[in-house]
Amino acid sequence: MPNIILNKRKVLDYLGKEISDKELIEKIPMLGTDLSAVTDAEIDVEIFPNRPDMLSEEGFARALSSFLGIRTGLRRYAVKKSDYKSILEKDAVKIRPFVANAVVKGIEVDDYTVKSLMQMQEKLHTTQCRNRKKASIGLYDLDTITFPLTYKAVDSSFKFRPLGYDNEMTVKQILEEHPKGKAYGHLLAGPKYPIWIDSKKQVLSLPPIINSAETAVTEKTKNVFIDVTGTHKQTVEQTLNIVVAQLADMGGEIYEVKVNEISYPKLEPLSMEVDIADANRRLGLKLSGSEMAKLLAMMGHEARVKGDVLEVLYPAYRTDILHPVDLINDISIAYGYDNFKEEIPNVYTMGEESYEEILARKIAEVCVGFSFLECYNYHLTNVDEEFKKMNRKAEKYIELANAKNENYNIIRNSLLPGLMKVLSENKHYEYPQNIFEIGRVVFPDEKSENKAREELHLAVALCHKNADFSSIKAVAEAVARECGKKIDVVEEKDPAFIGGRCAAILLDGKKIGVMGEIHPLVLNNFDIELPVSALEIDIKPLGD
């Protein structure tokens, strides 16, 4: 979720009212934005991804002024007719299919304008534009370009001067050498590349990578041309709306651009009906239609009561309104989470613990009765710890595809290695160290939906100078006895244990575990200096 730093003076100017820091600190979080800090000059907030329209001083102030009751209701943005035209050529549309344009004239520019526009553009790019994949924004100084504009496809040898460079570069060079080309080049597969070019052959940009140097927005720009291109129509149109609304709030007037005869931006408010009874049922409140309308106005909407429903007009830049519940959600925010009285309904249901947990707890009780100490390890580990150090073959385990940390890139299929690690890290403490763990282990299983099979295991490790086979066998027998079961044993070969001092634990003839004296080689691997006898059992069969 993006954090943005807003110019506090600007926000207050837009609000048209002096608001104390105390009130800001109190109110901002209740609007559904996570406040990090308010300082003398700045407001540092985290905007949730459903509200990209708030990623600028203008957008933030717009929402806040409604919420604080300073200027409630729907903002209407007039779009003036114009002769601005963009022509989309088929070859370019094939590469990045959706395009929306607009012009905003007469914005009030100051030192902060360019910085603010850049921040908004960058935040929109990383959030709802999905790193420029779904949509990307280009802003240009209108006075440097001549309509009509053409969106066309060119070869990689096509040249223009990209922003931040003194000389012309080919598209190929830009993709290979320009920082933006390196960062976003993967979004263009080639061999053709889209460009914006005006009627005087001035290149505007290579979307979604970089603008040309000549058409860039500067501190002096008053009139702006906006283009948004992308792979997702709705995102492209909504992104344009967010940008245009911000520029209009900077004092600009919006002009349409006909993109292949379709007029943009589409800023007409959208409408949705909210069933008043349904809203009250979800909220747990008894609000009248007009009370709801007032609350909706505090969230920047316009609502009219029409019988049992509210007819709500909401701004075209509110990308998050998918369903009437989103408007009801806005009602709840305007009502104030603090004002809801919590209630526990008198609904009778019977509590029930999972059998797995009951079994685990009962067996843990037995182990605690033996004065064993319970350990708690990660499920993720690595081949070296899980198998190599145990002198076991690395097999029957599941590997992660993208682990950042190579020490934790497989899922454990045995608990014992974890206990051995605990012993190796606690050598400086008093012995005996008798420990246990109950936890899940995972094996590959082609037959199940998630290709995995989980078992709930108990592992016990006894570490002291007399730890031997019979002491661990006594534990195994006692655990089974406490569960009303009797185990059998048969000699087993497991390289983690000393040969001839290792046994499979059988229940009704089926192997449910292994136990024995840990092989000195394994003790050396873990740098443990006292003998260890240990067991590991699948505990589910003990409960059956």
Partner 1 sequence: MHKHEIKVLNALKDGKKRELCELSKITKLPEASVSYAISMLAEKKFVDIEEKELTEIKLSDEAREYIKKGFPERRLLNLIKEKEISLKQARKELGNEIQIALTWARKLNLATISSGKIKITATGRQFLKKSLPHEEMLFLISKGKIPKDKIKALKELEKRASLIELKKRKKLFAKITNAGLSVLKKGTREEVSQLNTEMIKTGKWKNLVFRKYDVKAEAGSIYPGKRHFVRQAEDYARKIWLEMGFKEMTGSLIQTAFWNFDALFTAQDHPVREMQDTFYVKGKGELPKKELVERVKRMHEEGGHGSKGWNYKWSADEAKKLVMRTHTTCLSAITLASLDIKKDLPAKYFAIGRCFRNETVDWSHSFEFNQFEGIVVDKNANFRHLLGYLKQFFKKMKLKARFRPAYFPYTYFSTEMEIFHPAQKQWIELGGAGIFRPEVVVPLLGEDIPVLAWGPGLDRIMMDYYKINDLRELYKNDIQKLRQSKKWLMG
Contacts of partner 1 in 321-340 (CB under 8 A): 322-326, 328-329, 332-333, 337-338, 340
In the complex, least distance from residue 321 CB atom to partner 1, rounded to whole angstroms: 8
Measured from the CB atom, is 50 or 116 closer to partner 1?
Answer: 50
Does 454 contact partner 1 by CB under 8 A? yes
Residue 263: both structure tokens together? 């007029």
What distance in Å separates the CA atoms of residue 103 and residue 84, rounded to the nearest whole number?
A: 8
484 in the Ramachandran plot: left (φ > 0), alpha (ψ -120 to 50) or beta? left
Long-range contacts of 278-284 (CB under 8 A, 24+ apart): 278/324, 278/328, 279/310, 279/324, 279/328, 279/331, 282/325, 282/328, 283/328, 283/331, 283/332, 283/335, 283/340, 284/340, 284/343
| Piece of the chain touching partner 1 by CB under 8 A; list 158-166, 259-267, 405-413, 481-489 | 405-413
Q: Which of 18, 166, 261, 343 binds partner 1 (CB under 8 A)?
A: 343
Provide, rounded to whole angstroms, the least separation between the CB of residue 241 and partner 1: 16
Those residues whose C-beta lies under 8 Å from the C-beta of residue 389, and which sit 6 or more positions away, are 417, 420, 522, 525, 526
Residues touching partner 1, count (CB under 8 A): 89
By beta-carbon proximity to partner 1, the closer residue of 89 and 340 is 340
Cα atoms in the Cβ-side hemisphere of radius 13 Å centred on 283 = 28
User: Applying CB under 8 A, does 443 fall inside the site for partner 1?
Assistant: no
Nearer to partner 1, 160 or 372 (CB): 372
Binding flag, residue 435, partner 1 (CB under 8 A) = yes
Q: Terminal CA-to-CA distance of the chain, rounded, Å?
A: 47
Closer to partner 1 by CB, 258 or 421: give it: 421
Q: Give me the DSSP letters along 354-369.
A: -HHHHHHHHHHHHHHH
**Residue 425, interface with partner 1 (CB under 8 A)?**
yes
Give min distance, CB of 407 to partner 1, in A. 9
User: Which listed residue (172, 266, 440, 501) binds partner 1 by CB under 8 A?
Assistant: 440
Site for partner 1 in 175-194 (CB under 8 A): none
What is the side-by-side strand order in the sheet with 257-259?
210-211, 203-206, 193-197, 149-154, 85-88, 257-259, 262-264
CB of 315 to partner 1, least distance (A): 15
Q: Which residues make Cβ contacts (< 8 Å) with residue 26, sequence separation at least 6?
A: none
Q: How far is the CB of 164 from partner 1 (least distance, A)?
A: 28
Q: Which of 156, 173, 377, 391 binds partner 1 (CB under 8 A)?
A: 377
Q: Which is nearer to partner 1, 79 or 456 (CB)?
A: 456
> Does 395 interact with partner 1 (rule: CB under 8 A)?
no
Upstream peptide bond of 148 is cis (omega within 30 degrees of 0): yes
Residue 414: strand, helix, or coil: coil
Does 100 interact with partner 1 (rule: CB under 8 A)? Answer: no
Q: Does 112 bind partner 1 (CB under 8 A)?
A: no
If the CB atoms of residues 167 and 405 are measured against partner 1, the closer one turns out to be 405
Helix H or strand E encompassing 462 = strand 452-463
Indicate the residue among 189 and 350 with the shorter CB distance to partner 1.
350
Among 368, 394, 474, 490, binds partner 1 (CB under 8 A): 368
Return the axis-axis angle of helices 324-335 and 289-297, rounded to nearest 10°. Answer: 80
Supply the minimum distance, in Å, between the C-beta of residue 459 and partner 1. 13
**Buried/exposed code over 198-214 (b: 16+ C-beta within 10 A; e: otherwise):** beeebbbbbbbbbbbbe
∠ CA 166-167-171, rounded to 5°: 125
Specify the stretch interacting with partner 1 by CB under 8 A; choose among 71-79, 221-229, 423-431, 475-483: 423-431
User: Binding mask 74-93 vs partner 1 (x if CB under 8 A, - otherwise)?
Assistant: --------------------
Considering the complex, state which of residue 29 and residue 495 has its C-beta at the smaller distance from partner 1. Answer: 29
**Residue 54 or 496 having the CB closest to partner 1:** 54
In the complex with partner 1, the residue whose CB is nearer, 262 or 364, is: 364
The contact pattern for partner 1, residues 33-62, with x = CB under 8 A and - = no contact, is -x-------------xxxx-----------
Q: Which two tokens stand for residue 335?
A: 């009502």
Which one among 191, 307, 351, 509 touches partner 1, defined by CB under 8 A?
351
Among 74, 93, 114, 364, binds partner 1 (CB under 8 A): 364
Q: Is the dihedral of CA 80, 85, 86, 89 positive or negative?
A: positive
**Per rule CB under 8 A, is residue 490 in the interface with partner 1?**
no
215 closest CA partner among 164, 141, 159: 141
Among residues 220, 429, 484, 509, the one that binds partner 1 under rule CB under 8 A: 429
Residues 278-317 close enough to bind partner 1 by CB under 8 A: 281-285
Q: Which residue(s) pair with 226 in the sheet?
A: 102, 139
344 part of the interface to partner 1, by CB under 8 A: yes
Residues within window 219-258 making contact with partner 1, judged by CB under 8 A? 232-234
Q: Given candidates 40, 111, 166, 352, which one binds partner 1 under the rule CB under 8 A?
A: 352
Q: Dihedral of CA 509/514/517/521: which sign? A: positive
Find out whether the peptide bond into 191 is cis, omega within 30 degrees of 0.
Answer: yes
Q: Max CA-CA distance within the chain?
A: 94
Q: How many CA atoms lie within 13 A of 3 on its CB side?
A: 7
Q: Which stretch binds partner 1 (CB under 8 A): 5-13, 196-204, 344-352, 468-476?
A: 344-352
